[in-house]
A and B are shown apart, each in its own frame.
Chain A
Amino acid sequence: MVLLVLVCLASLLLGAGDVGPARALSVLMGQGDAEARFVLGSLRLPRTLIGLVVGLSLGVAGALLQAVTRNPLAEPGLLGVSAGAAFAVALALLLGATATTMRVGVAQLGAMAGCLCVLGVARVSGAGSDPVRLVLAGAALTGLLLSLTSLLLLFDQRAADEIRFWIVGSLAGRRLEHLVAILPSLLLASGLVLAVARPLAAMALGERIASGLGHRPGLIRLLVIVAVALLVGAATATAGPIAFIGLVVPFAARALAGPDIRRTLWFCLPLGPLMVIAADIVSRLLVAPSEMPLGVLTALCGAPVLVAVVRARRMPTL
């Protein structure tokens, strides 16, 4: 928690431009020049807040998805959920949609479709028992959707910049209105998460046990998928597809919290924003004075973690 406050502060102070920590600090003290004040108030503050919300959403969505599939590798970015959301938005943009609020809904529908698609494929091919096969199905879907999104780029060069954002996510240039647009769905998702947390914990003991304890596994699974779609759709509508946060955050949270999903979810709340904002700071500084998209950085850091998890002698069972 303390770390999260520190990293938020750092996010306000550090940047790729020429407003350095000293000038930023003076703004926080209530002074500072107009340029620094603008950079902080209109660029870095929204950016940090959005990082906070995106990290929260992706971390929680990853933990939910891992719990419901009982697969430690399940991750929205890998399973085609984020890619589904991004493709849906790119398609809507191409068809002429502009409103921010509509974009969120479209992204959530896309996320839902991606989610159902990959879980359906995994179920049909009986991949349920092998964690890696589910990820393979997801990676195939992600690849397909990303190339389709790239294809849209060819149709409309004018929207190219806008659409490129839907291939590699970033926190740069996002405004507060984007954040406001996703708040209702985040509230709805929180409600869902609170409602399913207890039965979801019981599902970790197996579906038959969960039924024996008076839960309805089919209903729980559906509610979790809806919550994941709401969260990932909202995050993707705001920041584009950002991979691996949903893998790394629950992994770390589980290591700290133990096997109960209810505790894991609580630990995801600070850890998700922590990782997203920290990664965002690095993405600003690494190639300063220009910036690297956040999605590139998380992929660069997350991929080795995935390999490490898969190669670990004992795959954690959920």
Chain B
Amino acid sequence: MTRHQLATRDLTLCHGRATVIDRLALSLPVGKVTAIVGPNGCGKSTLLAGLSRLHAPKQGTVLLDGRDIQQLPARELARRLALLPQEATAPEGLTVAELVRFGRQPHQGWLRQWSAEDQRVVHKALAEADVDELADRPLDTLSGGQRQRAWIAMTIAQQTPLLLLDEPTSALDLGHQIEVFELVRRLAAEGRTVVMVLHDLASACRYADHLLALHNGQLVATGPPGEVVTTELVRRLYDIDCTLIPDPATGSLLLANVRRASRHSVEA
């Protein structure tokens, strides 16, 4: 698989007059899982929308393999970068297989209708997301985790080297969250670059290789979770004090003894 690189240069994103992301420069590691974390309203989802061209920059550029994504044709972009927005809803009665077929649209055209190749890719995507046995079930009859895996299967069928997920686990219970995270790990193991916005710092530490911590539109930390997550960072992002301990099984950081930051706490 060719190396696809997503980066930003001097990126500024605004909602109306409010600046949400302020002159951000970053580069995403290829073939790794990157988590964007930060408090509510820090611009995580806006950044993801900017990276996928849903949100046009006020200033600066998003570069995909060195080219400004604003200049890429829409379909070309959709063949390189797949996006799953938050709270995607499907029309009533749509089945999993029908949904996943939509993922082939960027590869179709006037002269290129549905092909055996498309069929093969859809089958593979269904199997990869472990929803092949649910293929003929309508989405509205599935559990939250199954439904989310079906949506991810659609983006897998897009066959893009880059996959952007906006809070893929936000409405799911713990078991379903793990289903989705393990799927994300499998996708990265196959060489895809995955970027996801996450609420939960502990999940980000456990499942991401790379962390982007945002605060007030600025990047406050970037790097592997084990290196950048500190009690100071946690306090700065979420205004809480905690003790960080490594998970005895995996070594990833866990947040323990979490409490609201006290004004008198000693700077560690």
Q: A residues near B, CB below 8 A? A: 198-199, 201-202, 204-206, 208-209, 211-216, 258-260, 316-318
B189 contacts A by Cβ under 8 Å = no
B238 within 8 A of A: no
- When distances are taken between beta carbons in the complex, the residues of chain B under 8 Å from A209 are 83-85, 88, 102
- B91–A318 touching, CB < 8 Å: yes
Q: Does B75 contact A (CB under 8 A)?
A: yes
Please give, as numbers and ranges, the residues of chain B lying within 8 Å of A198 by CB-CB distance: 105, 108
B94 touches A260 (CB 8 A): yes
Residues of A within 8 A of B205 (CB): none
Contact with A along B47-78 (1 / 0, CB 8 A): 00000111000000000000000000011111
Q: Shortest 9 CB-CB distances between A and B: which pairs? A: A214-B78, A214-B75, A212-B83, A259-B91, A214-B106, A208-B85, A213-B105, A259-B93, A214-B74
Chain A residues, Cβ within 8 Å of B102: 201-202, 205, 209, 213
Evaluate contact between A206 and B88: CB separation under 8 angstroms: yes
A215 to B78, alpha carbons, bound, how many Å? 9
Residue of B nearest to A206 (CB): B88
* Complex: chain A residue closest to B103, CB-CB: A213
With A and B bound together, what is the CA distance between A107 and B52 in angstroms? 41
Point out the residues of chain B lying under 8 angstroms from A205, CB to CB: 88-91, 99, 102
Contacts of B88 in A (CB 8 A): 205-206, 208-209
Query: Is B123 in contact with chain A by the CB < 8 A criterion?
Result: no
Question: CA–CA, A202 to B102, complex, Å?
Answer: 7
Report chain B residues within 8 Å CB of A214.
Answer: 74-79, 105-106
Contact of A317 with B92 in the complex, beta carbons under 8 Å? yes
Whether B103 pairs with A206 at a CB distance below 8 angstroms is: no
Residue in contact with B98 in the complex, picked from A208, A260, A317, CB distance below 8 Å: A260
Q: How far does the alpha carbon of A318 sit from the alpha carbon of B102 in the complex, in Å?
A: 16
How far is it, in angstroms, between the C-alpha of A318 and the C-alpha of B92 when the chains are bound?
A: 7
Q: How many residues of B contact A (CB 8 A)?
A: 29
Please report the C-alpha to C-alpha distance between residue A128 and residue B90 in the assembled complex, in whole angstroms: 17
Docked CA distance A201–B90 (Å): 11
Q: Tell me if A's interface is mostly helix, strand, loop or mixed.
A: loop
In the complex, A259 Cα to B92 Cα: how many Å? Answer: 7
Q: How far is the CB of A75 from chain B (nearest CB, A)?
A: 18
Determine the distance from Cα of A202 to Cα of B105 in the docked complex, in whole angstroms. Answer: 9
9 of the cross-chain contacts (CB-CB < 8 Å) are A204-B94, A208-B54, A209-B83, A212-B82, A212-B155, A213-B78, A213-B106, A213-B158, A318-B91
Tell me the bound Cα distance from A206 to B88 in angstroms: 7
Of A211, A213, A216, A260, the most chain B CB neighbours within 10 A belong to: A213
User: Which residues from chain B contact A206 at a C-beta distance below 8 Å?
Assistant: 85, 88-89
Chain A: CB-nearest residue to B155: A212
Bound Cα distance A211, B88 (Å):
13
| B91/A317 in contact, CB under 8 A | yes
Measured between beta carbons, the chain B residues less than 8 angstroms from A316 are 92
| Sample of 19 more A-B contacts, CB < 8 Å, known A205-B99, A212-B85, A213-B158 | A198-B108, A202-B102, A204-B94, A205-B91, A205-B102, A208-B85, A209-B102, A211-B74, A212-B83, A213-B78, A213-B103, A214-B76, A214-B105, A214-B106, A259-B90, A259-B91, A259-B94, A259-B98, A318-B91
CB distance from B137 to the nearest CB of A (A): 14
Closest chain B residue to A260, Cβ basis: B98
Q: Which residues of chain A come closer than 8 Å to B54, judged between CB atoms?
A: 208, 211-212
Q: What separation, in Å, do the CA atoms of A213 and B108 have in the docked complex?
A: 11
List chain A residues, Cβ under 8 A from B108: 198
Shortest B108–chain A CB gap in Å is 7
State in angstroms the CA–CA spacing of A316 and B89 once bound together. Answer: 13
Bound Cα distance from A206 to B166, whole angstroms: 15
CA distance A212 to B54 in the complex (A): 8
Contact B52 A212 (CB under 8 A): yes
Report Cα–Cα, A232/B230, bound state, in Å: 64
**Which residues of the partner chain B approach A211 to less than 8 Å between Cβ atoms?**
53-54, 74, 83
Q: How far is the CB of B151 from chain A (nearest CB, A)?
A: 9
Picked from A201, A212, A259, the residue with its CB within 8 Å of the CB of B84 is A212
Q: Given A206-B88, A208-B83, A209-B85: A215 and B105 within 8 A (CB)?
A: yes
Residues of the B chain whose Cβ atoms lie less than 8 Å from the Cβ of A213: 78, 102-103, 105-106, 158
Instruction: For the complex formed, measure the closest distance between the CB of A211 and the CB atoms of chain B, giving whole angstroms.
Output: 6
Residue of A nearest to B79 (CB): A214
A90 to chain B, nearest CB (A): 38
Shortest beta-carbon distance, B193 to chain A, in Å?
16
